[in-house]
Amino acid sequence: MLPSLAVTLERVRSHPQLAGASAQVAAPQTGAALARAAYKPDWRVELGYGYRPAFTEMVMLQVRFILLTQ
């Protein structure tokens, strides 16, 4: 007698070769995502305020961006 469709599908989903194949697919996808992220520019904005009683007050704005990261 043949097993039911639900039992057959569950056996297919839990098959060890399919688990290994999905891991083989996930590894290159992760590598590609990391490579795409490496080419995105890195933006940073810093704002600072300094109270200096002996001098005038200080406000600082710094904008930095790195076009390519390695």
CB burial string 15-30: b at 16+ within 10 A, e below:
eeeeeeeeeeeeeeee
pLDDT band at 48 (very low <50, low <70, confident <90, very high): very high
Higher local confidence (pLDDT), 20 or 69: 20
Q: Give the mean model confidence (pLDDT) for residues 62-68.
A: 82
Task: Inform me whether the pLDDT recorded for 46 exceeds 70.
Answer: yes
Higher local confidence (pLDDT), 53 or 37: 53
Q: Report pLDDT digits (tens) over 5-45.
A: 999 888 888 888 887 888 888 888 898 888 887 777 778 99
Structure tokens at 65: 């961006």
Counting every residue, how long is the chain? 70
- Written in H, E and C, the secondary structure of 50-64 is ECCCCCCCEEEEEEE
pTM: 0.37
